[in-house]
Amino acid sequence: MVGIVCAYLKEAKPLIEYFGLKKRNDKFLIYENEKISLIISGQGKLNSAVATTFLLSTREISHIINFGIAGSSEYKIGEIFLVNKINDNLFPDILISHPFRESEIICFDEVVTGGNYKLVDMESEGFFKAAVKFLKSHQIHLIKVVSDNLVCFRPSDEFMKNLISSHLENIKKYINLLKENKKIDLSIAEEIAKKYHLSFSQKEQLKNRIMYYLLNNIKLPKIDFEKTNRKNDFRRIMNEFKI
């Protein structure tokens, strides 16, 4: 099952209608079908973290998405992005091909009405920090639609529907990609790491690179060269796994 965390019901309604999600009686406002579970968190980091924790604690979630609106001083209203960095220190691993542009986001405690920012919101940090306690970073995703150019306003249901509707097909494609991802066998990374005496950090980098290849159905290169030293061998290995 794919989990979705939205701060507001208004931004969730287009997804609820498009995917045919049904309301469930629970401690949170939750809409579900057999493949998707969407929870309304409320505004802010703490609310997002609590709702994310609840969803991951009560459902079998393979991937989780923080979907919602964001402000921007750089992008146009209506543009959609997959987030690749939060607050300069949190990094979702984007390992599959996708139909979106990528951007960083800054998460604030209050509404931002000035400054120069690519994307800003109030939930992404809390969502990610909670989700990473349960899932790997490549299973955590943030999709944001620009709703304003850093002005304080209350969007109507009609505004949200018009803002999000044109992106629903690509969101569906992305969710389908997540659902199709089977369990990844990373035993080859263990074998290579053992053979070339890689450090823990080097092995983790190699795992991410191999995971990218497997998720995108790219043929794995054959690693079989004479050992020299760890640093040089690791460089040669990663050169073989080019992206």
Over range 210-223, report the average pLDDT. Answer: 85
pLDDT at 215: 76
> What 8-state DSSP symbol labels residue 82?
E
Q: Please name the residues in contact with 86: beta carbons below 8 A apart, sequence gap of 6 or more.
A: 92, 104, 105, 106, 107, 124, 125, 128, 142
Q: Which of 47, 42, 12, 45 is nearest to 122 (CA)?
A: 45
* Segment 162-185, tens digit of pLDDT: 999 999 999 999 999 887 765 567
Share the mean pLDDT of the chain.
Answer: 93
Confidence of residue 38 (pLDDT cuts 50, 70, 90): very high
pLDDT at 20: 98
pTM comes to 0.81
101 strand-pairing partners: 81
We find that the CATH architecture of domain 2-180 is: 3-Layer(aba) Sandwich (3.40)
Distance, CA of 41 to CA of 80 (rounded, Å): 21
Q: Which of 174, 141, 2 is nearest to 68 (CA)?
A: 141
Is the pLDDT score of 113 beyond 70?
yes
Phi, psi of 101 (to 5 degrees): -80, 160
Pair 143, 82: CB distance under 8 Å: yes
Domain residue spans of the chain: 2-180, 187-240
